[in-house]
Amino acid sequence: MSGKKTRNRTALTQYARLESSGLWRETASAQRREVIVAFREATLVLTDPRKDEALSHWSLPAIERVNPGILPAVFSPGTDADETLEIDDADMIDALERVRSAVKSLSPQPGRLRSALFAGGTTLVLLMAGLWLPDALIKHTASVLPSATREAIGQLALSDMQRLTGSPCETPLGTFALTELGDKLFGPHRARILVVREGVQSATHLPGGVIIVGRRIVEEQQGPDLLAGFALMERLRAEAEDPILPVLRHAGLIATFRLLTSGTLPEQAIAGYGQTLLQRTPVGVPVDVALARFKAAGVTSTPLAQALDPTGETTKALIEGDPMKGLVPTPLIADGDWVSLQDICLN
């Protein structure tokens, strides 16, 4: 059996980066759309060539040939699926036929899979365990997720976290001030800063550019410098490790594979992630990296250093290297906006 797995895995990896054009139809009544068909180790990824946006992920074990022996070849992601993909590239057709056969031979019961929604089935789980280590699957899934899916997963994680933090604080003027600060620090619509009443003492972050801070960071300060400092540090942590990765590790292998093949992460797979995130020790950020980002944003690092360690012993480098030391920085937001922001949790 081990020899068969080795041969089949060779068949899978032989075409690992093969790509071609194709014509995709989402439903029987929809117009055909030109797509780039990208062959991956366990999936077929269909991408809009103009927007470079993934439109669909097909599980290799589920793919069916609709018109055997006829060209151009027409495939579907499952026996009863509405989607179809028309391909006339000989190499891609040959790869699909060979690899589908190799993948299915791994199953002790090579019956057809209706669609990627059956990814939790025992045969497919065993297949994926044989092809990838769990972390490799998670990293691959993260690498192909479009921004809209990341934002949706971030919202699921936020909803779970709200059991502990309550809903984010909102007032018209306070929310406007948060948006102004986020745009100032990261560029227009590049981040979403939220303030919560409970559970968050400093700050944390979620997929989709969401940064969450505790209300004391706002209410107990004379200006937005500390809030800006925490926000910058969370963005640096998000850049150091993709924030979707810990979510997928929490969700598990089966849920991650379902996300990869269907574009949907089951809501129940996120349950408990909020508590896990809030209990996690923040990843350290190198001082030189932090100071460079503070300088680029025009933010003083001293308030953050003092908040992290009032004695200054462990954050001396942030204080001595403060890029704004001796300067009069441009206000991050207007004084009136800051006052509105301080009242955001009073309602």
- The mean pLDDT value for 73-88 works out to 86
Contact residues for 172 (Cβ-Cβ < 8 A; gap 6+): none
pLDDT at 2 over 80: no
Per-residue model confidence (pLDDT) at position 110? 40
pLDDT tens digit sequence for 23-68: 999 888 888 999 988 876 567 888 888 887 778 888 777 788 888 8
Question: Tens digit of pLDDT for each residue in 198-249?
Answer: 999 899 999 999 999 999 999 989 999 999 999 999 999 999 999 999 999 9
- Full DSSP string of 143-193: HH--HHHHHHHHHHHHHHHHHHH-SPP--HHHHHHHHHHHHHHH-TTS-EE
- Asked if residues 216 and 230 have their Cβ atoms less than 8 Å apart, the reply is no
Predicted confidence at residue 5, as pLDDT, reads 41
* Tokens 């979707």, residue located: 244
Contact (CB, 8 A) for 137 and 128? yes
Of 147, 129, 128, nearest to 244 (Cα)?
A: 147
Q: Is the pLDDT of residue 1 over 90?
A: no
| 102 confidence band (pLDDT: 50, 70, 90) | low
Topology of domain 2-131, CATH:
PH-domain like (2.30.29)
Mean pLDDT, rounded, for 239-265 = 89
Return the ∠ at Cα 185 (arms to 278 and 208), rounded to 5°.
45
- What is the reported pLDDT for 141? 87
Q: Helices 2-14 and 122-131 sit at what angle, rounded to 10 degrees? A: 70
Q: What is the mean pLDDT of residues 145-173?
A: 93
**Whole-number pLDDT of residue 42:** 64
Task: For the chain, report the end-to-end CA distance as a whole number of angstroms.
Answer: 65
Highest mean pLDDT of the ranges 44-53, 93-102, 180-189, 251-260? 180-189
Structural domain boundaries of the chain? 2-131, 148-342
- Report residue 332 as tokens: 């991050």
Instruction: Grade residue 130 by pLDDT with cuts at 50, 70 and 90.
Output: very low
pLDDT of residue 44: 80
Q: Compute the C-alpha angle 54/260/122, nearest 5°.
A: 155
pLDDT band for position 78 (cuts 50, 70, 90): confident
Residue 127 in this model has a pLDDT that exceeds 70? no
| Tokens representing residue 85 in the block | 């993909």
User: What is the mean pLDDT of the segment spanning 252-268?
Assistant: 85
Query: Can you tell me the mean pLDDT for 10-31?
Result: 73
Residue 106: is its pLDDT beyond 50? no
pLDDT at 100: 64
Residues sharing a CB contact under 8 Å with residue 270, sequence separation 6 or more, in sequence order: 153, 156, 157, 159, 160, 247, 250, 251
Average pLDDT score over residue span 314-326: 94
* SS3 (DSSP) at 55: strand
Q: What average pLDDT does the segment 140-145 reach?
A: 87
